[in-house]
């Protein structure tokens, strides 16, 4: 009977004994992440990491270049009729996986930036190391968010503007007007310019990156009446752009060897304003694999980006013997496995074969021919000083402040080219400087916007028709670019967004 | 002090002992017919020591002290105990009456047992016979076709591959619809659990079977609990049904030794038709002609030469499916010993299994051991111990690719790799060759798993002083460790890309449970029977997964053995923990009145750690009534029914098959690092998930009506069940707008209903010593409907071009590659679950057509532009909008079967026996992803296609309305088309066994010698054009249904077996 009672007592005891039901996961929470400076820096790297992953780097570069009207691709088939060439690269964008991935990944980065902005406290006049550090991190989060939204709004126009972390009851967001998105970009960049102080150290952007971004925004607004705020004239926007750009002037300097910018040997140079840090050990860049041509290096190689042959011919014609040609294009090389010479147009005059009719873009090619891994280490430069100088030249030409020739001459001096093309009137200077972006910065991510920034007619005349009507155009190996104004200016919202966002139907 | 106390007690008692007297009682114990019962036990009531046993003539004598109770208790197994007052007797004789309760079939139910006649819920019992058990590799195979309402999806070709069991339709739209598995009272619940995936590039990792280590040969019986009345005792984990597995125990008598040995051969019996080498070379040359190139291939008497320029090279030609898929020979052997004495019994078994798949390096080796012990420690205390151990080593499960791009998968490469190979191919076009030679998959790829598993339990049952009341404490658990390593060598696409790639994944899962149960099982006044229990359980699961991936190897000689040779760590060693605790109080009362009226009520209160405090606790009740009408006189008088029972039940049960920590924000380390300006790396941190603090379990409310009957002395028996289930708060890992910064969130969203009818019939027309014949079948109709999606907004939804506001969402995207990169299924309120949604087509555009849409050209597939415009204003939509876009999508098919069925046939004639088992499904559609490339001549010169796609391709001079032009591709398409929807109905001869009992001399030490030949998965009757209509690609993904994406090959297994009993 005694046992009986013991058992019953045990049983009843167990009934009321509250066994442990708490969760003890092996990860951090928001407070633990953002209250410690070192961990917060890890969270900052988390934001940059999302900008360096496949969707934000390889696929973004692929999509923005494909939509620039200057490129052709061998991805998805070695043919001018592959799915990319007949759609995105012919400026007839439809739902495509690369722009879809870019959309998704850039919004992931926005989410991470939103997290940092929401959780980090800043100090108005920071003095100690910790306060400076937190201010710098939050400032960079604002800068990154501004850059991300600028990248999105330029391609898609009206987009969801999300400034806070979603929760389970707040998952869908309607599109905001592009004008409102630009206003937010300006606000973020201005905050970034105040908060960034360099405390995080080398390899991260300084506040001048925010000034440069603001200058780019004002330049876009200057030529986009639909986006302008009432009461601000075009010339005022150019002036605003100048005010921001000039703050950057002199803070950086051009490197002497143009081609060195596109190697992993001279990274974070004096010319670099905003650069993503790639490392084979971090396994965060497959640019070298994707954009290196067949048998140029030992490891796998896809050779996904080629430049329209007429773009190269135009460059050669404008600046014969320009060292930038060697740094930008690849049309002749020896196979790494057997040493055989491979010629591509114009080294190979015959343009019968699609695969050899257009030169490769060389900037992202893995330069080490013995490289065997799929991951590379070459950093990706988002903004560099040569771009700023060309911007200043363009802005100054619009303002006619007399400074324009000086800036562009700095750029041309590095490569030993003459500034003769810039000695004409404002209009011819304008056309020349718009081409200069292309010669200097081809494929680096700004072409798509630079080509469209001055409106559809300018895009049609200076890019689309120029290509479609070029003398060597061959329908078998070249893409006939769309001339439909309703089609060529923006990308369609990705289907993955339409399928899931209750407020967006197209 | 204690000693002094004991001495005093002894002194006090001594006089009593000295003066006590006793008397001698003599008696005869007979059975109900008056024949003597030898071995019956006679005991003085309330005495622990005194007793006697009847001799061969049923006689006994017993000395009963005068101070003892003058009552004897007479007992014998199978008979009702009797009490005899001997205060005035010295001699007596009684006849014991049969205890029908003990002779009745007892079935295992949750946390206990019950008489079969007292069951009021819907339970399918699966008999496990030795021949079937020795053929089966895992427990879920035993269920296929053998129980109504149970659908099993498995892949016949691949040893160790995942198997899915679905009870009564789709209960949940989250990942895992698998039932709860309970072995000897211990919850295992690991179906669909594998190591975490760590693919490389766009490859996906096939899930392997999570139920390895539960040996079918050791199983005595399986009960499948289906309705709420039966499963509610499992509370928040019972909604998908419960599979109760009881392992064998020994019986009294001399030791029995069983051994078995089987040899089997597995062969592929269905191959996919692709172009042979010459057909393929012609196809490529035609592509070249279209693109203006010189032909790649030339033909001479010596063979096929390759090369557009210079000197062409002679090629080798292959039929890859013939090359790669061969015969897989397997052996199994094992031995078991069982026996027992008066106070205990034992069952011990051990076995070894060496399976080979249809690909030469596909192997699955395992060995296992089990010890089951039952021991009466004293007359009130019983011990039960169960322990089993299992180790296994497998390589390359030859499966498909879960979600990767088409060209990266083994299955796809074996079908579509170019059949013409040059070893000196010097052609720039080969840069598009992102595929892997099938030989490389065999020689240069490893997918090695090593698994150990221990399942054990110890139970002590104490008989309490109140008659019928027992207390049991049981502790048991499951330890499972798995190490899976995948290595891609240089000659595979993935390995070339990475210069060798190794992924190492481990799982270390420990679960343990502590059950405290009080049971009360007693009959009162012959008419009242109570079987009740009250329990408290604490269930702890502790799982730690690890992931590690490394690439760029200095040498590839050591494959999976040495990661240190890799230069680049693409996934730093990461631990992913998934712990869970459940604390529960549960109870059940099963009351039977007069063997006619049965009431069962259960309730369970669960507290689950994975939900926040506010949502942590839930109560799950059920109630069932049954009427054993067969025991009513007016039914008995009909002389037709041996038994007839009508059942009705209602209950609420739960489901929370999601990982833990879903309510917490996870700021963790990212998969890839970030570089720094020093050339090194930094560890990046980010929010990895979108927490949902409101998460709670799904709740299924189910009503079930059933009828069990046996007529004409069991010649015909069967049951019918009708049910209605509504599951609300469906847990889903739902796709959310990418603009949120996340791609998925765990939510409780919507509700679904399942309505179904199950029918099982068994016939036993002949049962004599020489001939036994039985056959039977089961069929289950189930319809799953999305009842409510009220958490979703009303959105424009297009059906046949007409837009209405409905609540809906899409399933998950299928592939991460360029083909099939969109959802196939849509979930729409008011419709059946997961319907196929996409574009209708109408043949091929012809040259003279004038209505080309979206830049289509002659020879393209004509996608139907749904009628959305009223061009003449007559109120009728008569034309499309001229664009093919998302608005032209409409319903294309239904992946849910109308019914699933199984039937069996058993014949025994003297020493021969024959059994056959068929199973099938009817009325479902399959989206055949393989045909996206096989049936379109895409014009990619490195991928083979079907002869029909090439021969019947549309050509300017040879128009076709069935297959598109050479060069047509579905890449970039945004939805499936009806061209890939096929009828998925099938009937399979699941098992055919012919056995013979070889005569053995009685003097021989062998008791029984049985030899048999069996065929598993022998034939499939289907119109489906893929490998296997039993689609197994996305077994554990609730948001993809009926999609065949690189699904594995179908194989039959012929087996020769020998069972020997000593």
Q: How many CB atoms lie within 10 A of CB B274?
A: 23
- pLDDT of A409 higher than 50: yes
Q: Report the residue of A12, A42, A175 to disrupt the B interface, i.e. the one with the largest count of B CBs within 10 Å.
A: A42
B682 and A42: CB-CB below 8 Å? yes
Give the mean model confidence (pLDDT) for residues B812-834: 89
Digit-coded pLDDT (tens) for B585-631: 999 999 999 989 999 999 999 999 999 999 999 999 999 999 999 99
Cα-based distances in Å from B960 to B632, B935, B957: 71, 13, 10
B607 and A21: CB-CB below 8 Å? yes
Give the mean model confidence (pLDDT) for residues B407-425: 79
- pLDDT value at residue B845: 95
Separation CA B175–CA B722 (nearest Å): 26
A335–chain B Cβ distance below 8 A for any pair: no
Give the mean model confidence (pLDDT) for residues B166-181: 76
Stated as kind and residue range, the H or E segment containing B207 is: none
* Lowest-confidence segment of A358-367, B430-439, B544-553 by average pLDDT: B430-439
- pLDDT of A343 higher than 90: yes
A452–chain B Cβ distance below 8 A for any pair: no
- pLDDT of B907 higher than 70: yes
Separation CA A285–CA A278 (nearest Å): 6
User: Which residues on B lie below 8 Å from A11 (Cβ)?
Assistant: 471, 516, 518, 534, 536
Confidence of residue B40 (pLDDT cuts 50, 70, 90): confident
- pLDDT of A4 higher than 90: no
- pLDDT value at residue A8: 66
Q: Could you say which residues from 395 to 434 on chain A have a Cβ atom under 8 Å away from some Cβ of chain B?
A: none
B686 and A103: CB-CB below 8 Å? no
The predicted model scores a pTM of: 0.86
- pLDDT value at residue B564: 92
Q: How many CB pairs under 8 A join A and B?
A: 304
Q: Report the residue of A21, A107, A169, A289 to disrupt the B interface, i.e. the one with the largest count of B CBs within 10 Å.
A: A21
Highest mean pLDDT of the ranges A224-228, B164-168, B728-732: A224-228
Quickly tell me which residue has 């040879």 as its tokens: B958
- pLDDT of B2 higher than 70: no
**Closest approach of A478 to chain B, Cα-based (Å):** 13
Highest mean pLDDT of the ranges B150-154, B852-856, B857-861: B857-861
B684 and A48: CB-CB below 8 Å? yes
Confidence of residue B10 (pLDDT cuts 50, 70, 90): very low
A354–chain B Cβ distance below 8 A for any pair: yes
Give the mean model confidence (pLDDT) for residues B265-284: 93
A351–chain B Cβ distance below 8 A for any pair: no
- pLDDT of B193 higher than 60: yes
B664 vs A25, A42, A49: nearest CB = A25
Q: Report the residue of B738, B852, B856 to disrupt the A interface, i.e. the one with the largest count of A CBs within 10 Å.
A: B738
Is the backbone peptide bond immediately before B732 cis, with ω within 30 degrees of 0? Answer: no
A19 vs B581, B690, B737: nearest CB = B581
A373 vs B568, B792, B823: nearest CB = B568
Give the mean model confidence (pLDDT) for residues B634-661: 90
- pLDDT of B15 higher than 60: no
- pLDDT of B835 higher than 90: yes
User: Which residues on B lie below 8 Å from A24 (Cβ)?
Assistant: 579
The pair of three-digit structure tokens given for residue B775, joined into one six-digit string: 């056959």
**Closest approach of A177 to chain B, Cα-based (Å):** 15
- pLDDT of B6 higher than 60: no
CA dihedral B378, B520, B118, B188 (to 10 degrees): -70
**Closest approach of B266 to chain A, Cα-based (Å):** 37
- pLDDT value at residue A6: 67
Stated as kind and residue range, the H or E segment containing B488 is: strand B469-488
Give the mean model confidence (pLDDT) for residues A105-132: 95
Digit-coded pLDDT (tens) for A299-334: 888 899 999 999 999 999 999 999 999 999 999 999
A173 vs B582, B684, B739: nearest CB = B739
| Share above pLDDT 90 across residues of chain B, in percent, rounded to a whole number | 46
Q: Report the residue of B685, B808, B855 to disrupt the A interface, i.e. the one with the largest count of A CBs within 10 Å.
A: B685
Find out whether A58 and A102 touch, Cβ atoms under 8 Å. Answer: no
* Lowest-confidence segment of B192-201, B524-533, B667-676, B889-898 by average pLDDT: B192-201
Give the mean model confidence (pLDDT) for residues B332-355: 91
User: Which residues on A lie below 8 Å from B790 (Cβ)?
Assistant: none
Instruction: Report CA torsion sign: B106, B108, B110, B113.
Output: positive
Give the mean model confidence (pLDDT) for residues B655-660: 85
**Closest to A136 measured CA to CA, from A78, A203, A181:** A203
Separation CA B1003–CA B487 (nearest Å): 57
Find out whether B825 and B842 touch, Cβ atoms under 8 Å. Answer: no
The SS3 assignment for B1005 reads: coil
- pLDDT of A43 higher than 90: yes
Cα-based distances in Å from B33 to A252, B40, B54, B76, B82: 112, 15, 17, 15, 16
Nearest CA in chain A to B566: A373
Separation CA A274–CA A203 (nearest Å): 8
3-state helix/strand/coil string of B299-337: EECCEEEECCCCCCEECEECCHHHHHCCCEEEEEEEEEE
A176–chain B Cβ distance below 8 A for any pair: no
DSSP of A291-340: HSPTTTSSS-----EEE-HHHHHHHHHHSTT-HHHHHHEE-EEE-TTT--
Confidence of residue B1 (pLDDT cuts 50, 70, 90): very low
- pLDDT of B11 higher than 50: no
Give the mean model confidence (pLDDT) for residues B270-288: 93
Digit-coded pLDDT (tens) for A257-285: 999 999 998 999 999 999 999 999 998 99
Give the mean model confidence (pLDDT) for residues A12-27: 74
Q: Name the average pLDDT for chain B.
A: 86
- pLDDT value at residue B369: 95
* Lowest-confidence segment of B148-162, B321-335, B860-874, B1040-1054 by average pLDDT: B148-162
User: Which residues on B lie below 8 Å from A19 (Cβ)?
Assistant: 538, 581, 583, 607
Q: Name the average pLDDT for chain A.
A: 94
- pLDDT value at residue B524: 84
More confident residue, A95 or B664: B664
B667 and A32: CB-CB below 8 Å? yes
Confidence of residue B18 (pLDDT cuts 50, 70, 90): very low
* Lowest-confidence segment of A365-369, A476-480, B267-271, B491-495 by average pLDDT: B491-495
- pLDDT value at residue B769: 87
Please list, in sequence order, all residues whose beta carbon lies within 8 angstroms of the beta carbon of residue B820, skipping any fewer than 6 positions away. Answer: B406, B814, B929, B932, B970, B976, B1045
**Closest approach of A114 to chain B, Cα-based (Å):** 10
Q: Report the residue of A13, A45, A47, A370 to disrupt the B interface, i.e. the one with the largest count of B CBs within 10 Å.
A: A45
- pLDDT of A201 higher than 90: yes
Separation CA B884–CA B319 (nearest Å): 39
**Closest approach of B640 to chain A, Cα-based (Å):** 48
- pLDDT of A16 higher than 60: no
- pLDDT value at residue B565: 93
Q: How many CB atoms lie within 10 A of CB B465?
A: 10
Separation CA B680–CA B678 (nearest Å): 5
Confidence of residue A174 (pLDDT cuts 50, 70, 90): very high
User: Which residues on B lie below 8 Å from A104 (Cβ)?
Assistant: 738, 743
- pLDDT value at residue B307: 83
Q: Report the residue of A26, A202, A291 to disrupt the B interface, i.e. the one with the largest count of B CBs within 10 Å.
A: A26
- pLDDT of B367 higher than 50: yes
Find out whether B461 and B384 touch, Cβ atoms under 8 Å. Answer: yes
Confidence of residue B56 (pLDDT cuts 50, 70, 90): confident
A94 vs B570, B675, B972: nearest CB = B972
Nearest CA in chain A to B587: A15
The pair of three-digit structure tokens given for residue B315, joined into one six-digit string: 């090629």
A53 vs B672, B688, B694: nearest CB = B672
User: Which residues on B lie below 8 Å from A37 (Cβ)?
Assistant: none
- pLDDT value at residue B127: 77
Confidence of residue B335 (pLDDT cuts 50, 70, 90): very high
More confident residue, A113 or B464: A113
**Closest to B754 measured CA to CA, from B833, B649, B653, B834:** B833
Stated as kind and residue range, the H or E segment containing B492 is: none
- pLDDT of B376 higher than 60: yes
| Share above pLDDT 70 across residues of chain B, in percent, rounded to a whole number | 93
More confident residue, A19 or B280: B280
Confidence of residue B406 (pLDDT cuts 50, 70, 90): low
Cα-based distances in Å from B736 to B161, B731, B790, B822, B843: 31, 14, 16, 14, 35
B516 and A49: CB-CB below 8 Å? no
Give the mean model confidence (pLDDT) for residues B391-401: 75
Separation CA A418–CA A427 (nearest Å): 19
Find out whether B393 and B413 touch, Cβ atoms under 8 Å. Answer: no
- pLDDT of B155 higher than 80: no
A26 and B429: CB-CB below 8 Å? no
- pLDDT value at residue B49: 64
A455 DSSP 8-state letter: -
Nearest CA in chain A to B694: A168
Task: Please count the CA atoms within 13 angstroms of the CA of B596 that sit on its side-chain side.
Answer: 10
Q: What b/e string do you get for B810-848 counting C-beta neighbours within 10 Å, with b at 16 or more?
A: bbbbbbbbbbbbbbbbbbbbebbbbbbbbbbbeebbeee
């Amino acid at each position: 009977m005694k046992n009986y009672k013991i058992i019953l007592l045990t049983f009843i005891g167990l009934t009321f004994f509250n066994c442990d039901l708490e969760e003890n996961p092996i990860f951090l929470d928001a407070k633990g992440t953002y209250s410690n400076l070192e961990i917060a820096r890890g969270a900052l790297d988390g934001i940059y990491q999302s900008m360096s992953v496949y969707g934000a780097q390889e696929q973004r570069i692929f999509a923005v270049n494909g939509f620039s009207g200057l490129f052709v691709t061998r991805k998805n088939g070695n043919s001018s009729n592959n799915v990319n060439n007949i759609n995105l690269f012919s400026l007839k964008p439809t739902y495509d996986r690369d722009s879809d991935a870019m959309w998704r990944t850039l919004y992931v980065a926005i989410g991470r930036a939103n997290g940092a902005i929401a959780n980090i406290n800043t100090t108005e006049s920071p003095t100690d190391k910790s306060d400076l550090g937190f201010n710098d991190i939050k400032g960079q989060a604002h800068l990154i968010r501004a850059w991300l939204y600028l990248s999105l709004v330029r391609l898609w126009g009206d987009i969801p503007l999300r400034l806070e972390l979603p929760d389970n009851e707040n998952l869908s967001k309607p599109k905001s007007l592009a004008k409102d998105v630009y206003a937010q970009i300006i606000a973020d960049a201005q905050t970034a310019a105040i908060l960034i102080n360099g405390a995080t150290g080398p390899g991260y952007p300084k506040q001048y990156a925010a000034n440069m971004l603001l200058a780019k925004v004002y330049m876009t607004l200057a030529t986009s009446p639909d986006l302008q705020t009432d009461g601000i004239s075009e010339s005022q926007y150019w002036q605003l752009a100048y005010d921001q750009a000039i703050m950057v002037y002199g803070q950086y300097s051009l490197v002497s060897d143009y081609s060195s910018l596109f190697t992993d040997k001279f990274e974070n140079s004096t010319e670099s304003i905003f650069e993503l840090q790639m490392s084979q050990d971090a396994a965060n860049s497959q640019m070298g694999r994707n954009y290196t041509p067949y048998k140029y290096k030992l490891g796998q190689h896809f050779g996904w980006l080629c430049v329209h042959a007429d773009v190269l011919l135009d460059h050669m014609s404008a600046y014969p013997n320009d060292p930038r040609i060697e740094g930008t294009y690849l049309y002749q090389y020896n196979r790494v496995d057997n040493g055989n010479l491979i010629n591509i147009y114009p080294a190979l005059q015959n343009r019968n074969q699609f695969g050899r009719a257009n030169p490769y873009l060389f900037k992202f090619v893995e330069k080490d021919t013995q490289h065997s891994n799929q991951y590379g280490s070459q950093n990706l430069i988002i903004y560099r000083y040569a771009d700023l100088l060309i911007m200043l030249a363009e802005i100054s030409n619009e303002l006619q402040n007399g400074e324009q020739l000086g800036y562009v001459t700095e750029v041309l001096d590095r490569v030993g080219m003459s500034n003769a093309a810039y000695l004409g009137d404002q209009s011819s200077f304008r056309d020349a400087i718009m081409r200069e972006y292309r010669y200097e910065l081809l494929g680096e991510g700004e072409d798509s916007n630079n080509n469209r920034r001055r409106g559809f007619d300018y895009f049609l005349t200076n890019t689309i028709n120029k290509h479609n009507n070029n003398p060597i155009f061959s329908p078998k190996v070249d893409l006939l670019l769309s001339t439909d104004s309703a089609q060529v200016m923006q990308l369609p919202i990705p289907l993955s967004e339409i399928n899931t966002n209750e407020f967006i139907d197209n | 002090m204690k000693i002094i106390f004991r001495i005093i007690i002894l002194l006090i008692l001594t006089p009593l002992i000295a003066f006590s007297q006793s008397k001698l009682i003599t008696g005869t114990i007979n059975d109900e017919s008056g024949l003597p019962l030898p071995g019956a036990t006679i005991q003085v009531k309330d005495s622990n020591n005194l007793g006697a046993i009847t001799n061969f003539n049923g006689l006994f004598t017993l000395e009963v002290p005068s101070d003892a109770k003058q009552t004897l208790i007479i007992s014998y197994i199978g008979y009702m105990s009797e009490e005899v007052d001997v205060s005035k007797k010295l001699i007596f004789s009684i006849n014991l009456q049969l205890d029908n309760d003990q002779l009745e079939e007892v079935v295992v139910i949750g946390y206990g047992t019950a008489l079969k006649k007292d069951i009021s819920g819907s339970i399918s019992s699966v008999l496990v016979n030795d021949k079937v058990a020795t053929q089966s590799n895992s427990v879920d195979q035993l269920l296929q076709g053998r129980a109504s309402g149970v659908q099993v999806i498995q892949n016949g070709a691949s040893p160790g591959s995942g198997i899915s069991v679905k009870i009564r339709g789709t209960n949940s739209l989250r990942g895992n619809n698998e039932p709860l598995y309970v072995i000897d009272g211990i919850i295992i619940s690991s179906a669909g659990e594998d190591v975490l995936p760590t693919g490389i590039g766009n490859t996906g990792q096939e899930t392997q079977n999570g139920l390895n280590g539960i040996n079918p040969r050791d199983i005595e019986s399986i009960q499948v609990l289906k309705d709420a009345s039966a499963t509610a005792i499992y509370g928040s984990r019972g909604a998908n049904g419960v599979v109760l597995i009881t392992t064998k125990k020994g019986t009294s008598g001399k030791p029995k030794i069983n051994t078995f040995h089987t040899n089997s051969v597995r062969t592929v019996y269905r191959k996919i038709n692709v172009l042979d080498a010459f057909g393929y070379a012609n196809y490529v040359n035609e592509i070249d002609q279209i693109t203006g190139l010189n032909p790649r291939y030339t033909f001479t008497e010596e063979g096929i030469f390759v090369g557009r320029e210079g000197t062409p090279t002679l090629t080798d030609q292959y039929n890859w499916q013939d090359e790669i898929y061969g015969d897989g020979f397997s052996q199994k052997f094992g031995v078991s010993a069982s026996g027992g004495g008066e106070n205990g019994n034992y069952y011990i078994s051990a076995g070894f299994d060496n399976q080979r798949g249809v690909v030469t390096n596909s192997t699955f080796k395992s060995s296992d051991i089990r010890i089951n012990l039952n021991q009466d420690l004293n007359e009130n205390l019983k011990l039960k111990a169960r322990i089993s151990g299992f180790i296994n080593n497998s390589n390359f499960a030859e499966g498909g690719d879960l979600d990767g791009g088409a060209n990266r998968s083994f299955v796809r490469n074996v079908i579509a790799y170019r059949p013409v190979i040059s070893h000196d191919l010097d052609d720039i076009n080969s840069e598009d060759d992102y595929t892997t030679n099938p030989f490389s998959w065999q020689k240069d790829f490893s997918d090695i798993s090593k698994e150990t598993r221990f399942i054990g339990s110890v139970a002590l049952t104490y008989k309490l002083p109140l008659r019928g009341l027992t207390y049991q404490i049981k502790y048991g658990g499951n330890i499972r460790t798995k190490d899976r390593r995948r290595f891609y060598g240089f000659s595979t696409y993935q390995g070339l890309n990475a210069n060798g790639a190794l992924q190492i994944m481990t799982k270390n899962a420990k679960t343990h449970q502590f059950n405290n149960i009080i049971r009360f099982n007693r009959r009162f006044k012959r008419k009242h029977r109570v079987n009740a229990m009250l329990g408290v359980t604490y269930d702890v699961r502790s799982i730690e997964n690890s992931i590690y991936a490394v690439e760029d190897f200095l040498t590839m000689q050591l494959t999976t053995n040495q990661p240190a040779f890799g230069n680049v760590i693409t996934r730093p060693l990461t631990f992913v923990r998934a712990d869970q605790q459940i604390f529960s109080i549960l109870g059940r009362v099963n009351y039977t009145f007069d063997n006619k009226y049965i009431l069962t009520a259960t309730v369970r209160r669960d507290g689950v750690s994975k939900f926040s405090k506010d949502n942590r606790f839930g109560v799950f009740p059920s109630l069932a009534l049954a009427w054993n009408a067969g025991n009513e006189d007016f039914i008995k008088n009909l002389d037709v029914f041996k038994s007839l029972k009508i059942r009705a039940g209602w209950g609420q049960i739960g489901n929370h098959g999601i990982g833990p920590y879903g309510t917490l924000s996870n700021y963790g380390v990212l998969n890839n690092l970030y570089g720094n300006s020093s050339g090194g790396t930094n560890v990046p941190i980010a929010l990895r998930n979108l927490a949902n603090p409101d998460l709670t379990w799904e709740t299924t409310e189910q009503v079930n009506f059933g009828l069990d009957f046996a007529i004409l002395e069991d010649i015909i028996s069967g049951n019918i069940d009708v049910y209605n289930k509504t599951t609300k708060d469906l847990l889903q890992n739902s796709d959310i707008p990418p603009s949120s910064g996340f791609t998925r969130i765990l939510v409780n969203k919507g509700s679904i209903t399942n309505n179904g009818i199950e029918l099982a019939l068994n016939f036993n027309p002949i049962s004599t010593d020489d001939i036994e014949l039985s056959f039977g079948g089961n069929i289950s109709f189930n319809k799953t409907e999305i009842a409510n999606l009220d958490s979703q907004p009303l959105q424009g939804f297009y059906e046949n071009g007409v837009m209405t506001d409905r609540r809906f969402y899409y399933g998950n995207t299928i592939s991460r590659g360029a083909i099939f990169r969109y959802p196939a299924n849509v979930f729409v309120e008011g419709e059946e679950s997961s319907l196929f949604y996409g574009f209708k087509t109408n043949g091929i555009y012809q040259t003279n057509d004038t209505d080309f849409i979206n830049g289509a050209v002659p020879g393209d597939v004509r996608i139907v532009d749904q009628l959305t415009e009223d061009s003449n204003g007559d109120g009728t939509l008569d034309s499309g909008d001229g664009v093919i876009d998302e608005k032209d999508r409409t319903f294309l098919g239904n992946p849910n079967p109308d019914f699933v069925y199984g039937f069996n046939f058993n014949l025994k004639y003297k020493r021969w026996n024959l059994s056959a088992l068929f199973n099938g499904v009817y009325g479902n559609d399959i989206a055949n992803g393989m045909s996206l490339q096989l049936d379109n001549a895409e014009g990619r010169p490195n991928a083979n296609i079907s002869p029909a796609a090439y021969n019947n391709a549309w050509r300017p001079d040879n128009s076709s309305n069935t297959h598109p032009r050479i060069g047509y591709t579905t890449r970039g398409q945004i939805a499936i088309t009806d061209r890939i929807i096929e009828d998925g109905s099938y009937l399979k001869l699941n098992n055919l066994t012919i056995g013979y009992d070889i005569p053995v001399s009685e003097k021989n030490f062998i008791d029984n010698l049985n030899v048999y030949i069996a065929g598993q998965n022998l034939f499939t009757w289907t119109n489906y054009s893929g490998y296997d209509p039993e689609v197994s690609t996305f077994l554990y993904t609730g948001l993809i249904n009926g999609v065949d994406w690189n699904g594995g090959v179908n194989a039959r297994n012929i087996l020769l077996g020998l069972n020997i009993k000593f």
